[in-house]
């Protein structure tokens, strides 16, 4: 809801209000952003110009001798008129480097689609503040898009040149917000391959903090999602401001605390290697940034972003639609497979209850490794003599959907496409282009390249009846050609154009976003993809950290999580399949190991996992996510719930011999009900007991002997006994105590043998 009272604007969501005011000198300023307040807030509460601070300059003495731009909570800022903080807009013409925008008019109405960008659907209303620089005939529109029920406000800027002379845009942020410091701590997420969403938490000092990505994609260095926690903010209580950007390319975030306690927050396209020249009548639109405010702690912020992404960002065809359990052959075979091996995996997957079979890299050209054939999406008949259509028919015959891996944006030097069209490659035409992952990138700013890729995808997806594609992207930008300064940005717009065509042609095609894992998991890509591969690191302990950090800003319905081999391929850490499932369950479940070579105990475990997941799928994918305890406290605990039922995941840190009594304290349940609680049953490998097994056996057994190996392949030691009934009051009050962990001093049926990095799932449901 947006209300106007003179030159004051109240943008209200269900739980928050943003108050904007056009001040005495025509500058839009933020008067308030926080808990929802009435749209009749007395003007006495608004900022009053008092006195000039220090060596500041008066902006316009004819209107006020006290107003200095440096001291205002400006909604847009340009340099060299008295504001010395990080500007949101830098423009340059041959006549001036000083641009000065003041208020012209305001409009309130329906939200409009953004040209060239994905636009979240279903906004409540939109406010447009039109500003102008009369001397230079330049215009700037500040757009505020309200998603009322989800407590999210979108923001972007449109810049227009009305002058006969052109000017250059050197920096154009989508959002500027200035808040009074509340003892804020900044939480951002730095990334690398297999280390996505690593958490960086730091207090704000009197300086400027910058982070972002300049690799051509959104998540290689830092994801655009970040938040500011007020002093005293916890998981469930306190104030937090969350921010994100609906954009998949280079981005910049700047947070600056000034000498008087104001915090300026900027977010938008990175200005590095960016310059846009606007001729008369031309416009430039920034991507949309989004922000939310919660006084219900970090989980409150997460709930609001989850509702926004699920309801407004994800393609409408997949909004709140459950995703199938997939099998992906990658870590089972890598690129070395044949049709016989794939058929064996398909038959086994059907027997285990898998719903989607995905053939990964290696099916086209003459691709036996990553050194060739990208760009040539003709089937590798030596491997697949019945082609993709034959394989698809075989998968469908076995009652599963069929998915296929592509890497459309890349090209191998050893490819027919490169030999025929070397001009399709991203390069500056003066230097030899540098390869990454034995590949170059295609020039998606070229419409001819986009049309070629669309035809390639269309000619494969349609005839072969493909239900799902995994869209990979495995390297960063290099050798960017000289142009008008927006090549890296234009590439992203070209990518969006291609994705729009694919979605229009195949609206019901499921697509999973991948960029060597999570290198491009952002709200721009999730506008086209219903889920994203979180990380190439399938180790459950690392994945637990990555997934819960990502879940603070992205719903679990977009988190694609796979159970992989017990000995992890990235870290060589050995973890039980039970633990791997427990961690992977919160999100979209998949499997990525050789299921044709499972021991009987492991096959039984996976079948039980799949049954369990199907029984609780909607809860796992769309239940309310709450982080209950952070890993630093000894264990990572989080849950999904629907108000009556909950699935709680417990992931251990390092085990100790002196673990105390732990309690399980869920949230978002009904205190008036009575609940059953139960641990998900797993079987613990007998070999984990080592030579201790001889303390209970009548004969001496070798720790790695044939008999122990024979037994451990077929049977395991059952999970601890943990099942019962408890009142909702006691449950929510913290009365449910977990069994004590193994501590080396004996055990019984209640002892929790969870070990280092082990996990459990606890189901909590009302009694019948």
SS3 of residue 149 by DSSP:
coil
Closest CA to 74 of 61, 89, 58: 89
Is 221 in the active site? no
Q: In which region does residue 194 sit, left (phi positive, over 0), alpha (psi from -120 to 50) or beta (all else)?
A: left
Determine how β-strand 356-359 pairs with β-strand 198-203. unpaired
Closest CA to 389 of 379, 399, 398: 379
C-alpha Rg value of the chain to the nearest Å: 28
List the catalytic residue out of 472, 490, 602, 685: 472
Is 376 in the active site? no
Q: How far apart are the first and last CA of the chain?
A: 42
CA distance 564 to 577: 8
List the catalytic residue out of 151, 220, 258, 536: 536
Residues 447, 314, 178, 184, CA torsion sign: negative
Give the CB-side neighbour count of residue 570, counting CA atoms within 13 A. Answer: 14
Q: From start to end of 518-558, where are the E strands?
A: 531-533
SS3 of residue 43 by DSSP:
helix
CA distance 228 to 233: 10
Output the DSSP codes for 85-118.
S--SEEEEESS-S----EEEEEEEE---PPTTS-
Supply 68's token pair: 């200095």
Closest CA to 230 of 33, 71, 48, 47: 33
Burial pattern 4-25, b for ≥16 Cβ within 10 A else e, equals eeeebbbbbbebbbbbbbbbeb
Strand partners, 60: 64
Alpha helix stretches (DSSP H) within 485-599 = 487-505, 540-550, 577-584
CA distance 403 to 464: 10
Phi, psi of 389 (to 5 degrees): -65, -40
Closest CA to 48 of 30, 70, 66: 66
Report how far Cα 505 is from the mean position of its chain's Cα atoms.
26
Closest CA to 233 of 302, 175, 177, 290: 302
Residues 541, 546, 549, 555, CA torsion sign: negative
Catalytic residue set: 472, 536
């Amino acid at each position: 809801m947006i209300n106007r009272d003179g030159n004051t604007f109240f943008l209200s969501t269900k739980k928050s209000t943003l108050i904007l005011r056009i001040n005495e000198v025509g500058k839009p300023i933020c008067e308030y952003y926080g808990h929802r307040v009435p749209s009749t807030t007395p003007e006495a509460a608004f900022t009053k110009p008092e006195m000039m601070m220090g060596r500041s300059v008066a902006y316009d003495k004819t209107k006020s001798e006290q107003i200095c731009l440096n001291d205002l909570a400006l909604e847009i800022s340009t340099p060299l008129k008295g504001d010395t903080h990080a500007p949101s807009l830098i423009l340059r013409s041959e006549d001036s480097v000083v641009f000065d925008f003041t208020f012209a008019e305001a409009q309130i109405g329906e939200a409009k689609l953004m040209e060239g960008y994905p636009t979240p659907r279903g906004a409540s209303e939109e406010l447009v503040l039109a500003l102008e620089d009369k001397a230079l005939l330049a215009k700037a529109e500040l757009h505020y898009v309200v998603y009322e029920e989800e407590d999210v406000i979108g923001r972007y800027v449109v810049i227009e040149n009305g002058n006969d002379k052109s000017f250059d845009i050197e920096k154009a942020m989508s959002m500027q917000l200035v808040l009074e410091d509340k003892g804020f701590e900044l939480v951002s997420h730095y990334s690398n391959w297999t280390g996505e969403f690593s958490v960086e938490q730091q207090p704000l000092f009197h300086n400027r903090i910058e982070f972002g990505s300049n690799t051509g994609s959104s998540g290689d260095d830092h994801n655009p999602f970040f938040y500011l926690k007020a002093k005293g903010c916890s998981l469930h209580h306190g104030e937090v401001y969350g921010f994100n950007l609906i954009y998949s390319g280079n981005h910049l975030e700047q947070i600056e605390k000034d000498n008087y306690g104001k915090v300026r927050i900027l977010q938008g396209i990175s200005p590095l290697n960016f310059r846009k020249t606007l001729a008369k009548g031309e416009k430039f639109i920034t991507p949309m940034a989004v922000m939310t405010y919660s006084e219900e702690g970090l989980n409150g912020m997460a709930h609001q972003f989850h509702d926004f992404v699920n309801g407004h960002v994800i393609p409408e065809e997949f909004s709140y639609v459950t995703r199938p359990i997939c099998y992906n052959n990658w870590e089972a075979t890598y690129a070395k497979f044949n049709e016989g091996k794939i058929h064996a995996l398909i038959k086994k997957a059907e027997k285990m209850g898998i719903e989607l079979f995905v053939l990964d890299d290696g099916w086209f050209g003459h691709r036996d490794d990553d050194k060739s054939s990208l760009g040539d999406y003709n089937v590798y008949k030596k491997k697949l003599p019945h082609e993709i259509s034959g394989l698809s028919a075989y998968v469908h015959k076995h009652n599963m959907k069929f998915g296929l891996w592509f890497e459309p944006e890349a090209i191998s030097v050893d490819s027919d496409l490169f030999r025929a069209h070397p001009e399709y490659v991203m390069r500056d035409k003066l230097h030899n282009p540098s390869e990454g992952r034995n590949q170059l990138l295609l020039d998606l700013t070229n419409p001819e390249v986009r049309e070629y890729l669309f035809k390639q995808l269309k000619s494969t997806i349609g005839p072969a009846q493909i239900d799902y594609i995994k869209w990979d992207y495995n390297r960063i930008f290099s050798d960017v050609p000289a142009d008008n300064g927006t090549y890296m940005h234009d590439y992203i717009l070209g990518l969006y154009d291609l994705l729009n065509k694919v979605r229009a042609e195949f609206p019901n095609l499921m697509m999973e976003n991948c960029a060597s894992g999570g290198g491009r998991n952002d709200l721009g890509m999730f506008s086209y993809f219903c889920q994203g591969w979180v990380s190439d690191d399938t180790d459950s302990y690392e994945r637990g950290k990555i997934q819960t950090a990502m879940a603070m800003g992205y719903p679990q319905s977009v988190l694609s999580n796979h159970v992989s081999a017990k000995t992890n391929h990235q870290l060589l850490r050995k973890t039980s399949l039970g633990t791997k499932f427990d961690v992977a369950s919160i999100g979209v479940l998949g499997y990525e190991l050789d299921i044709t070579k499972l021991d009987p105990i492991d096959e039984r475990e996976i079948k039980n996992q799949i049954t369990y997941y199907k029984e609780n799928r909607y809860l796992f994918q769309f239940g309310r996510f709450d982080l209950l305890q952070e890993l630093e406290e000894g264990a990572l605990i989080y849950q999904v719930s629907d108000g009556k039922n909950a699935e709680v995941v417990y992931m251990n840190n390092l085990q100790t011999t002196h673990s105390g009594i732990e309690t399980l304290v869920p949230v978002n349940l009904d205190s008036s009900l009575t609940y059953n609680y139960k641990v998900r049953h797993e079987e613990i490998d007998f070999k984990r007991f080592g030579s201790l097994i001889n303390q209970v056996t009548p004969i001496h057994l070798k720790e790695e002997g044939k008999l122990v190996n024979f037994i451990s392949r077929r049977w395991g030691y059952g999970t601890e006994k943990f099942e019962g009934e408890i009142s909702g009051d006691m449950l929510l009050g913290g009365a449910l105590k977990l069994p004590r962990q193994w501590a080396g001093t004996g055990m019984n049926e209640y002892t929790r043998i969870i070990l280092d990095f082990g996990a459990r799932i606890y189901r909590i449901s009302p009694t019948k």
